């Protein structure tokens, strides 16, 4: 059994979905593991990870609009607003999504569907530097 780890640094510029599937695939190719499990973990409480459709930008726009409706920003809406009016809504959006993903690896490649991509889902307004840690285990 072999293992490998790395970190992906992702710059964001406000609420968005940033696809980083290709970066993960390139790293995976260099590891020499044919069959295994890839785990991705977002090290933040105001950003999350999604596997989502990557064929239509409208999907990302609709996701952003939906989460803005169910966890709106605004002064006085939440007790926790230490870092501004987008602070608690960002935590709520993360709680409703996920901070880790598990993806099978077969023949040295992620087993993703035809239109699936890996996204960092940024929930804060300001620019951020996010870290996603990858752990690969297999043969």
pLDDT digits (tens, 9 = 90+) for 62-85: 999 999 999 999 889 999 999 999
Phi, psi of 28 (to 5 degrees): -60, -40
What angle in degrees, to the nearest 10, is found between the helix axes of 57-70 and 87-96?
120
Tokens for 57, please give them: 């930008």
**pTM of the complete model:** 0.96
CA–CA separation, 123 and 26 (whole Å): 26
Contact yes or no for 123/84 (Cβ under 8 A): no
pLDDT tens digits for range 36-61? 999 999 999 999 999 999 999 999 99
CA–CA separation, 14 and 86 (whole Å): 10
Structurally, at CATH architecture level, domain 2-138 sits in: Sandwich (2.60)
Tokens for 63, please give them: 């996701």
Specify which residues 50 forms β-bridges with.
119
In the prediction, which pLDDT does 47 show?
A: 98
The domain locations on the chain are 2-138
Tokens for 92, please give them: 């709520």
- Mean pLDDT over 98-112 rounds to 98
């Amino acid at each position: 059994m072999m293992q490998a780890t790395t970190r992906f640094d992702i710059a964001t510029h406000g609420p968005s979905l940033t696809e980083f599937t290709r970066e993960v695939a390139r790293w995976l190719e260099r590891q020499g593991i044919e069959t295994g499990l890839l785990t991705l973990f977002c090290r933040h409480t105001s950003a999350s990870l999604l596997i989502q459709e990557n064929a239509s930008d409208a999907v990302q726009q609709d996701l952003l609009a939906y989460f803005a409706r169910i966890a709106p920003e605004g002064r006085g809406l939440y007790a926790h607003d230490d870092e501004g009016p987008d602070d608690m809504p960002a935590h709520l959006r993360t709680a409703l999504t996920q901070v880790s993903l598990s993806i099978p690896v077969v023949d040295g490649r992620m087993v993703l569907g035809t239109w699936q991509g890996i996204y960092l889902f940024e929930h804060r307004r300001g620019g951020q530097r996010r870290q996603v840690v990858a752990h690969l285990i297999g043969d």
